[in-house]
Amino acid sequence: MPEIVEIRSVRQFSLLIVSAVCLVVGSCMPQNVTPNNPSSSPVTPQPTASVRPLGSPASPETLAPDVAQATEADIWTQMQQGTGYVVLLRHAQTVAGTGDPPGFQLEDCATQRNLSEAGREQAARIGQVFRDRNIPIHQILSSQYCRCLDTARLLNLGEVEPSPMLNSTFTNRASEAEQTAQVRQRILDHQNTPGVIVMVSHFVNIGDISGINPPSGGAVIMRTNQQGELEVAEQIRDW
């Protein structure tokens, strides 16, 4: 009998040691589950939070409940069914150069930097994507620069309306604040309206609005959130 008492005491001491190790490590295998038991269910690791890059789709887990449901569908479905979406589209690829030649005139395309043949094909391809995905178009606005007007028309999505607020501020930064305010207000006014507004503009203008500088033919899709603030819903760099 003394021998039995001694064995039980060692076992109790061992259990105390195991319990202490479990507390330090943070987890222990349940007592009724052994590695050799094939019927035991594995422990599923808990998901960890991730950082959302600017312009990338958010997962429902990272969003507030009132917008989580909307993100379950891709951006094209959202634009089909939702309201308030505005596509800030940078003009398609141009001939080599930056800005425009000295003394250019808005009314004379020959004095401006214009679309290349690849850019014309790119613009047509972008428009086809919208048609293939049945995106309803509410309005198409464009900078008065020829490379933007040509891009907008080659989309073949509807009538194009020239809009001075989308004109390049690259060489005229004095008008940047006023133009940016006008574009922001137009997006805010569209909040509860079905159909997408496509705004064809320039590198610097889109950056001023969204904080993102897209490549030629790239787009930033924006909307007004539930708090009445502009937000980037998606960025498209390649069609």
Q: What is the spatial order of strands in the sheet that 160-162 belongs to? A: 160-162, 137-142, 196-201, 86-90, 219-224, 230-236
Polymer length of the chain: 239
User: In the chain, how many domains are there?
Assistant: 1
pLDDT at 73: 59
What predicted TM-score, i.e. pTM, was given to this entire model? Answer: 0.70
Report the sign of the C-alpha dihedral through residues 61, 64, 66, 70, in that order. negative
With respect to residue 184, please indicate whether it lies within any of the assigned structural domains. Answer: yes
What does the alpha-carbon distance between residue 118 and residue 92 come to, in Å, rounded to a whole number? 8
28: in domain = no
- Which amino acid appears at position 175 of this protein? S
Low-confidence ranges of the chain (pLDDT < 50): 1-11, 13, 18, 21, 24-25, 27-72
163 part of a folded domain: yes
Over the stretch 29-59, which tens digit does the pLDDT of each residue have?
444 433 344 333 333 333 332 223 333 444 3
Cα gap 162→152, rounded to integer Å: 10
> Quick one: which of 113, 82, 26, 11 has its CA closest to 224?
82
Q: What is the structure's pLDDT at 8?
A: 47
Residue 223's contacts (CB-CB under 8 Å, 6 or more residues apart) are 82, 84, 85, 86, 187, 191, 230, 231, 233
In which element (H, E) is residue 88 found? strand 86-90
Residue 173 lies in a domain: yes
Residues 149, 89 contacting (CB under 8 angstroms): no
Residue 31 has what pLDDT?
43
Considering the domain boundaries, does residue 66 fall inside one?
yes
Closest C-alpha to 82, from 196, 189, 210, 235 = 196
Q: How many CA atoms lie within 13 A of 116 on its CB side?
A: 10
Q: Is residue 50 in a domain?
A: no
Domain carrying residue 209 = 62-95+107-236
Distance, in Å, from the CA atom of 216 to the CA atom of 67, rounded to the nearest integer, reads 30
Domain-located, residue 1: no
pLDDT in tens, 103-118: 889 999 999 999 999 9
Q: Which CATH number does the domain housing residue 132 bear?
A: 3.40.50.1240
Task: State which H helix or E strand residue 68 sits in.
Answer: helix 65-68
